Chain A
Amino acid sequence: MEELVEKKVVDAGLDETIKKLTPQRIKEVVNRVLTRENAARLQVYLDTCVHCGLCAEACHTYLSRDNDPRFSPVGKVKETLWELVKRKGNVEPEFIRNMARIAFTECGVCRRCSMYCPFGIDIAYLLLVVRRICSLLGVVPQYLQDTTNSHAATSNQMWVNQDEWIDTLQWQEEEAQFELPSARIPLEKEGADVMYSVIAPEPKILAQLLANMAIIFKVAGEDWTMPATDGWDNSNMAMYSGDFEIMGRVEKLHWETAARLKVKKIVMGECGHAFRGAVYDGPRWLGWQFPPIPMVHAIEYYYDILSTGKIKIKEKYKEPITVQDPCNTVRGRGLGDKLRYIMNTICEDFRDMEPRFEHNYCCMAGGGTINCGPPWKRSRMVSNKVKAEQLKETGAHVVCTPCHNCHSGIEDIIGHYNLGLHVKFISELLIETMEIPEELKV
């Protein structure tokens, strides 16, 4: 096994934090998480797993790393939870460091493996239990922890100040008006039908996406608004760092903001994990069985406005294009068919991936992995070999990624593997191809 051990990645979030751990602290936290915070699922899953290894081929990290047994889903559980249970939490700090490396950087909690386990064991959940332990011990990759800290302090993912948020929306409203003079970004409009929420990278680094939405909403005739207070960011990396208290706080504010604005639903931008946090993990931690207000993912929203003719396509997109099925909206919401409806409606030469739909390979950027930052990028790229091959086989020149993590992750893959592809969001394709009625242009 020695030859497989990679050069150790330096990450202060792991290396420095484990120095403060004591055996008592480790044991206390492990027992708290294993016996008090978790019950049936943990117990039944651990007892049901027959160590058959059938989950292995589900995992892109395993496939990308030439079937390295340590990267099979069950292999990751063996190296983390099994040991913790067997040793009743009597493990050394270095063990916790390894555990954090495995759970945070070598698993995207994409849940593909639970579709390959004959028992439907939710292996991603088991890895999240491991992350929870790491989080309570303070052993989390530095950049991911910093993102969680941003959520805690600012209720958004990227330390965006409140003035920057509003200022960016006002700026993007003006940008949108260059294209479509009647476009608006209505702020704080109580009683609108829709609250549009996004993730912090949009105002921070991809602001033009906000202008795009102002144009799309205008053409679709939507009555919409955005909050000018905290609560606008629907992303949630605390969910992935294992800090469920901060996760809950972020989601609570998001829902309370929608309730305050008296909207009937939230439409959200093209992001997968934000959908998961807002619709599943967040509400459940807070005590909602289902989200209190309907949450419509961008894929679903674009499907609606295209299929009902609220937006028409002027001229289809010509380049050969493929599409990435994001785990949290296709496996996590069954939007694969609607995504293909959109692709076929907008694009002339759509080329599907293989495997696809629920079985698509993970981008290895979601689940908090890309948020672990530059130190782990090389490892991520190694884990992405199958994804790169899959992309290449489509023969497409462009890949559409209706998810921010997939988008950034696939951009990294394209660079690393020299694939020569371009990455686009659906909204960018829509802006290029949709028809803008003349009466709106004045």
Chain B
Amino acid sequence: MIDIENWDWEPGKKDIADLDKIRGQFGRVDEFTVSPDGEKFAAAGKLEDDTFTASVNGENWPDPVELLWYLRYIPDGRLIGLGRIDDQWTLLEDGKPWEERFEYLWNPKISANGKSIAAMYKRDNKYGIILNGKPWEQGFQAMRHYDISPDGEHTAATIQTEALKEADIFGFFEGVWSIAVDGKPWATKFVNTWSPAFNHDGKSVAAEARTDICDYTVAIDSVTWSGVYGCVWKPIFRPGTNSVVAPVREEGKWILAEDGKRIWENRFNQLWRVRFSPDGKRVAAIASPVFGRWTIAVDDKVWDVTFGDMVQEPVFSPDGGKVAALVKNDGKWSVAVDGLPWGEWFEMVWNPVFSPNGENVLAKAERDGKYLIVANGKLPAKSYDMLWDPVFSPDGQRILLRYVEDGKYHRQVVPAHEVFA
């Protein structure tokens, strides 16, 4: 969240846009998106001449394109979209296209500090990453996943290093997949590699690696752990360090390993989506202690309560003191905080949002086709036709609500004590 202190935190409600008016301007309007500060409301729309533009608070971008999609606000308030111009693809920032054009361009990602935009591209039958308008110098045969470093300076992707003939299973098992960082491939090739992830300073990359039909390990800067496992899931760096943590499978059970050594006593039926507290001291993950039951494990301790359907990734409070997660049981969703599920269950719940001091939790939820802000598990009086995640002011005293009611998009700031009353 860039500049969050300078947003308008005065309690009050603003009418920003009229949905019918926007819809009236276009033959077709795609999904709406709102700016982080709630001041802007936008959607891609199709004009009468079958070109597309973005409508921002009712004003259109001046230069329509042949096709516009994936319209999203990014944390610093820029509105980006993927656009086709003269049968070539590019990324548009607030209506202005990047200079580079590609045969295809997709999957934009924003760096953790909110400053950099990257996307994947295809040009001349080669694949690469473009970062802030600058493409990699070298393209590759194929590409699947990528990551952008927290400082937004580097990108890394899984790449296919050379072409294989059709159904060349032998070439495949010799290894033609690797990681390229800023366009430079690692020296090591693997049967497969997935999910590259940067460390805090963008100097190291870790990834899942498969070295034989059923041999899996973790690779960091092209060097693998010495251990070989039955399977692995996405590794991540411990914040502020060069240590890598990943769930690995041994003898049919999942354990948590750091730098190749087991760090938790518990062995699980399943273990994935490892997350660290912001200070890197605590670690949590989704765990299945027994077949068919799911919960969260934090620092090797498993929540007492388990859920049958699904548990989503753990979310730490800013101070790292609490852990919350979306949980699903008997077809309904809720939030559990430190192992205690809310009493209310919903058709859908969005990821929990902690107050800056970690005391309170808000979440957007859906019930009977309407959306509501659930505060510490308590139902509010109001519900909305559309709703975006709530945002706490930096001091935690105010809450920004962004919603559609009676056909109009509103931005409203309310004192936190009213929401949690």
Direct contact of A and B (CB under 8 A): yes
In the assembled complex, A163 has its CB within 8 A of some CB on chain B: yes
Chain B 73-126 interface residues, beta-carbon cutoff 8 Å to A:
103-104, 106-107, 120, 122
In the complex, the answer to whether B169 meets A245 with C-beta atoms within 8 Å is: no
Name B371's closest neighbour in chain A (CB-CB): A191
**Count of interface residues, chain B, beta-carbon cutoff 8 Å:** 54
Name A16's closest neighbour in chain B (CB-CB): B170
Name A243's closest neighbour in chain B (CB-CB): B213
Chain B residues lying within 8 Å of A255, measured Cβ to Cβ, are 310
Contact of A153 among B120, B144, B350 (CB under 8 A): B144
**Please, how many angstroms separate the alpha-carbon atoms of A370 and B13 in the complex?**
62
Chain B 227-242 interface residues, beta-carbon cutoff 8 Å to A:
230-231
In the complex, the answer to whether B348 meets A191 with C-beta atoms within 8 Å is: yes
Name A192's closest neighbour in chain B (CB-CB): B31
In the complex, the answer to whether B192 meets A153 with C-beta atoms within 8 Å is: yes
Stretch at the interface among A135-143, A208-216, A296-304, A420-428: A135-143
**Please, how many angstroms separate the alpha-carbon atoms of A230 and B213 in the complex?**
22
Chain B residues lying within 8 Å of A167, measured Cβ to Cβ, are 104
Chain B 340-380 interface residues, beta-carbon cutoff 8 Å to A:
347-348, 350, 366
Chain B residues lying within 8 Å of A166, measured Cβ to Cβ, are 104, 106
Chain B residues lying within 8 Å of A187, measured Cβ to Cβ, are 69-70
In the assembled complex, B187 has its CB within 8 A of some CB on chain A: no
In the complex, the answer to whether B169 meets A146 with C-beta atoms within 8 Å is: yes
Given A153-B192, A249-B194, A287-B288, 14 more pairs with CB closer than 8 A: A12-B170, A36-B252, A146-B169, A163-B103, A163-B104, A170-B67, A188-B70, A230-B145, A243-B214, A248-B231, A286-B270, A287-B269, A287-B291, A290-B292
In the complex, the answer to whether B172 meets A149 with C-beta atoms within 8 Å is: yes
Q: How distant is B125 from chain A, measured CB to nearest CB, in Å?
A: 10
In the complex, the answer to whether A228 meets B107 with C-beta atoms within 8 Å is: yes
In the assembled complex, B210 has its CB within 8 A of some CB on chain A: yes
Chain B residues lying within 8 Å of A207, measured Cβ to Cβ, are none
B interface residues with partner A (beta carbon < 8 Å): 28, 30-31, 67, 69-70, 103-104, 106-107, 120, 122, 127, 142-145, 160, 166-170, 172-173, 177, 191-192, 194, 210, 213-214, 216, 230-231, 251-252, 269-270, 272, 288, 291-292, 294, 308-310, 312, 328, 331, 347-348, 350, 366
In the complex, the answer to whether A135 meets B213 with C-beta atoms within 8 Å is: yes
Q: Which 9 A-B pairs have the closest CB atoms?
A: A289-B292, A163-B104, A292-B310, A287-B270, A146-B167, A287-B288, A145-B169, A287-B269, A245-B231
Name A174's closest neighbour in chain B (CB-CB): B67
In the assembled complex, A162 has its CB within 8 A of some CB on chain B: yes
In the complex, the answer to whether B167 meets A184 with C-beta atoms within 8 Å is: no
In the complex, the answer to whether A264 meets B270 with C-beta atoms within 8 Å is: no
Q: How distant is B325 from chain A, measured CB to nearest CB, in Å?
A: 12
In the complex, the answer to whether B160 meets A153 with C-beta atoms within 8 Å is: yes
In the complex, the answer to whether B173 meets A259 with C-beta atoms within 8 Å is: no
